A and B are shown apart, each in its own frame.
Chain A
Amino acid sequence: MLILFGMPIVQIILFGFAVTTEVQNIRLAVLDSSNDQATTEIVHELKANPYFGSVMYVHTTEEINKTFLENKADIVLTFEENFQQNLLHTGSASIQLLVDGTDPNMCKILVGYVTNILAVYQQKYATSENTTIQINPHVKMLYNPQTKSAYNFVPGVMGLILMLICAMMTSISIVREKETGTMEVLLVSPIKPLYIVFAKMVPYFVLSCVNLATILLLSVYVLGVPMSGNLGLLVAISMLFILVALSIGLLISTVVDTQVAAMLVSGMILMMPVILLSGMIYTIESMPVPLQYASHIIPAKWYILCVKKVMIEGLGIHAVYHEVIILFIMAFVLLTISIKLFKDRLQ
């Protein structure tokens, strides 16, 4: 019943709001080495645009890298030296647009916005000064120079597949014991419920690790996604995420009684939010604020962030400790709740 009437509501809201390809509250960073009238005017134009949120100034190229690593800006504009001089004398000047290429969809949108605004500025300039000028934006995709979409979807698919397989398999395997009645016999034995739970989790943990290996091998050797970071770190984080997913499966199995229900719950409740709210397909930053908060409770979101940072951007543990801690807390809380809820009686 809940699924029947609840699903349309959830889906309409999710698709209506989350699934917008607009990007809002863009955080802009500017490296302005000429700092003249033209550059200030351009930055002003950008600021005035409703899609852009904050603007920060950086002064060195090192700072640019830092803003990306710390995820403080979505796009960095670098004006060439003597920007206005060049415009006046040669009629053309260039700007470098730096964006984070791990999310190619978002990149294209960002670059589109900026080039549009630049074109409008050119138009204005032409009508007021009566000369035509040419501003050349040079786009540089960090981490993903060829804007391969695999860079975006591989982490997403890893999150999705691991979550689905782990959660669905564990919940189904426990619920199957309830259905066939073997759980009844297991309970009337001195074995502790904790052992039953762990005995159920261990094989699926191992299976999921095999899955992880397959996905990684395929993405590196078939899809050509780089393995820029530490493989050990990535595997460790993935195992943590698998643990979270297993705990979710366990939790599902304690509340449903049939395999079909377990399948539906893990399919509907896990798959939809993971696809929509994990940042796999739709950019979280451009969702309405309530949905952004909702996305925080999706473990896959944090995992996908980790994978992007470690696998594609090649960052170390210091860049992902925040996400790792969140995943740890999730694993701990979910596991505790599900072990507490695991009934050692029927009913």
Chain B
Amino acid sequence: MDAISVNKISKSYGTVRALQEVSFEVQKGELFGIIGPDGAGKTTLFRILTTLMLPDLGTATVNGLDVVTDYKEIRRQVGYMPGRFSLYQDMTVEENLTFFATLFGTTVRENYDLVKDIYQPLEKFKTRRAGKLSGGMKQKLALSCALIHKPSVLFLDEPTTGVDPVSRRDFWEMLQRLKKQGITIVVSTPYMDEAVLCDRIALIREGQFMGIETPQEIVNSYQERLWAVHSNKMSSLLAELRTFKGIQSCFSFGDVLHVTVIDDQLSPASLKCFLVKEGHADVEVYPIQATIEDCYMLLAK
């Protein structure tokens, strides 16, 4: 049995269609990523799966339980970490953890093993108020609180938004460890670089899933010719390449531009030649492997 099964879920807010016939399955013990920009419908999907909202159409089950009719039982079995920091800011770290353990009818000691790795760096701040923690610490505490009742499915809505890169990496390492303990994890993120750390990912845009595959499959399915281009005048380069015949799209990726080429006659050398003629110096053009972000850009077009 799948841990989560979603069948043609739709949800609208007035005329805004937040989710349109979304379907997917998540297997037990899988780390499933939902990747998409802000406003794509990620949070709505999480709220439906955690029984906080009712879908307009479609059905969904978590651990075989229907999100509409069996919502009370689901609430017992899942852990949820909302996108916004949602703990009691004026309670201390320890009080928050104890509070959430009590809420689920358990104790911190009973399930301490599960949260030990995550909670340990917080131990020395346990008398500090939750609102006074740093971003990364807050995330750790929120995750601890979501885990303290030993959920079988964990929903994490943008857990790393607003967190520094080091804490983000730590956080994903923690998720990998939790996965090893057999917990099914559904995580959403706007960061493409985190996508590769998931077992399978779904790219979501404007309420629709654009594909559900492993990160590798998504990258492999990328058929376009992709080059990285660099010169000393990056801003004018972007405008020039976008109007260049034979180039389908051009986006800025860090300090280089990624261009997809549709003209088979064009080669990196000839493009470089052209750019030098246009007055650019230090021009570099070379073919590259597509990343998840390139795939997303392609699908999102």
Contact = CB atoms under 8 A, between A and B. Distances in A.
Interface of A: 180-182, 184-191, 345-347
Given A189-B75, A190-B75, A181 B85 contact: yes
A191 B99 CA distance: 12
Contacts of A189: 75, 100, 103-104
B82 A180 contact: no
Interface string B69-109: 00110011010101011111100000000001001110000
A185 B80 contact: yes
Contacts of B78: 188
A191 B76 CA distance: 9
Nearest to A186: B103
B54 A345 contact: yes
B51 interface: yes
A191 B103 contact: yes
Contact of B75 (A180, A182, A188, A347): A188
> Which 4 pairs from chain A and chain B are nearest by CB?
A181-B86, A188-B80, A190-B76, A181-B84
B53 A346 contact: yes
Contact of B87 (A182, A188, A191, A346): A182
Given A345-B52, A345-B53, A190 B72 contact: yes
7 contacts: A181-B82, A184-B80, A185-B87, A189-B104, A190-B76, A190-B104, A345-B51
Contacts of A188: 50-52, 75, 78, 80
B49 to A, nearest CB: 10
Nearest to A347: B53
Nearest to A344: B71
A200 to B, nearest CB: 13
A187 B52 CA distance: 7
A182 B54 contact: no
Given A189-B103, A189-B104, A190-B105, A347 B86 contact: no
B82 A184 contact: yes
Contacts of A187: 52, 75
In the complex, which range does the number of interface residues on chain B fall in?
20 to 34
A196 B146 CA distance: 19
B179 interface: no
B86 A182 contact: yes
Given A189-B103, A190-B105, A184 B75 contact: no
Interface of B: 47, 50-54, 71-72, 75-76, 78, 80, 82, 84-89, 100, 103-105, 145-146
A347 B54 contact: yes
Looking at chain B's contact residues, the main secondary structure is loop
A182 B89 CA distance: 10
Nearest to B80: A188
Contacts of A180: 84, 86, 89
Nearest to B86: A181
A188 B82 CA distance: 10
Given A190-B72, A190-B75, A190-B104, A184 B52 contact: yes
A258 to B, nearest CB: 15
A184 B88 CA distance: 12
Contacts of A186: 103
A181 B85 CA distance: 7
A194 to B, nearest CB: 13
A255 to B, nearest CB: 18
Contacts of B51: 188, 345
A199 to B, nearest CB: 10
Nearest to A190: B76
A187 B54 CA distance: 14
Contacts of A181: 82, 84-86
Nearest to A343: B52
A184 B86 contact: yes
Contacts of B88: 182
Contacts of A190: 72, 75-76, 103-105
B41 to A, nearest CB: 15
Nearest to A189: B103
A185 B76 CA distance: 12
Contacts of B104: 189-190
Contacts of B53: 345-347
Given A184-B80, A184-B86, A188-B52, 8 more contacts: A181-B86, A182-B88, A184-B82, A188-B75, A189-B103, A190-B72, A190-B75, A190-B76
A251 B159 CA distance: 34
Nearest to A183: B86
A182 B72 CA distance: 18
A178 to B, nearest CB: 11
Contacts of B71: 345
B156 to A, nearest CB: 13
Nearest to B131: A180
A254 to B, nearest CB: 16
B103 A346 contact: no
Contacts of B50: 188
Nearest to B79: A188
Given A182-B87, A184-B86, A188-B80, A346 B105 contact: no
Given A190-B105, A345-B53, A346-B52, A185 B72 contact: no
B266 to A, nearest CB: 51
A186 B100 CA distance: 9
